[in-house]
Chain A
């Protein structure tokens, strides 16, 4: 039982490049979300999904796209990377489609640097 798996663990991009951060969970969780964490700060919600085909914006969605074609996968796309997107990105899932009412299970994070 792998839980929430994020790839890659580390990534360096140049300004303007695009990339996709992968997130997969094997717990059949309905709810999935992406957070970013900047040094010394809390986690800020980027996008979330309450089920396949349903996504919505969080607090800081600009510059990011998501899609949810399957229950298991929730990739995060950076359209045109900027230095302000340098951060640690966490994917998290929970079993309830009312995501705020059940525990979040986090992946191990992707550390992204944009130069």
Chain B
């Protein structure tokens, strides 16, 4: 089953923060995060493999709460380059199932 992302879209001013949530109705064992810019392929950001694990990529970080079956992506002090669509994906065996995406627009 597809993980659910919220919000579906967010508009930020440069320098502002945002949180993107990813939740699953079934157990989460690991979570991937990807960013896709318009007309391009998705690009890997990070994997969280353990409950409670936090990772960071530039000023983008993520947390993973196994018990709550959710992961959150934190965009801190957003930059124009952060604009794009962010996808979480949950791993189950050899299958990676993507959420519907969160569109992020960072304005000057």
Decide yes or no whether A109 CB sits under 8 A from chain B.
Answer: yes
Chain A contact residues, CB within 8 Å of chain B: 31, 33, 35, 41-45, 48, 50, 56, 58-59, 90, 97-109
Asked whether, in the complex, the Cβ of A102 is within 8 Å of the Cβ of B47, the reply is yes
A88 to chain B minimum Cβ distance, whole angstroms, is: 9
**Contacting residue for A42 out of B91, B93, B99, CB 8 A:** B99
Chain B contact residues, CB within 8 Å of chain A: 2, 30, 32, 34, 40-44, 47, 49, 87, 91-101
A36 to chain B minimum Cβ distance, whole angstroms, is: 11
A48 to chain B minimum Cβ distance, whole angstroms, is: 6
Instruction: Known contacts A90-B41, A102-B47, A106-B42; decide if A48 and B94 are in contact (CB<8 Å).
Output: yes
Chain A residues near B100: list those with CB within 8 A. 41-42
Consensus secondary structure, chain A interface: mixed
Asked whether, in the complex, the Cβ of A31 is within 8 Å of the Cβ of B42, the reply is no
Asked whether, in the complex, the Cβ of B42 is within 8 Å of the Cβ of A50, the reply is no
Give the docked Cα–Cα distance between A72 and B78 (Å). Answer: 38
Asked whether, in the complex, the Cβ of B44 is within 8 Å of the Cβ of A103, the reply is yes
Give the docked Cα–Cα distance between A45 and B2 (Å). Answer: 11
A-B contact pairs, 17 of them (CB 8 A): A41-B100, A42-B87, A42-B98, A42-B99, A42-B100, A44-B98, A48-B94, A50-B94, A98-B93, A99-B94, A100-B91, A100-B95, A101-B91, A103-B44, A103-B47, A104-B96, A106-B43
Give the docked Cα–Cα distance between A103 and B42 (Å). Answer: 11
A115 to chain B minimum Cβ distance, whole angstroms, is: 22
A10 to chain B minimum Cβ distance, whole angstroms, is: 12
Give the docked Cα–Cα distance between A48 and B42 (Å). Answer: 17
Chain A residues near B44: list those with CB within 8 A. 103-105
Chain B residues near A108: list those with CB within 8 A. 40-41
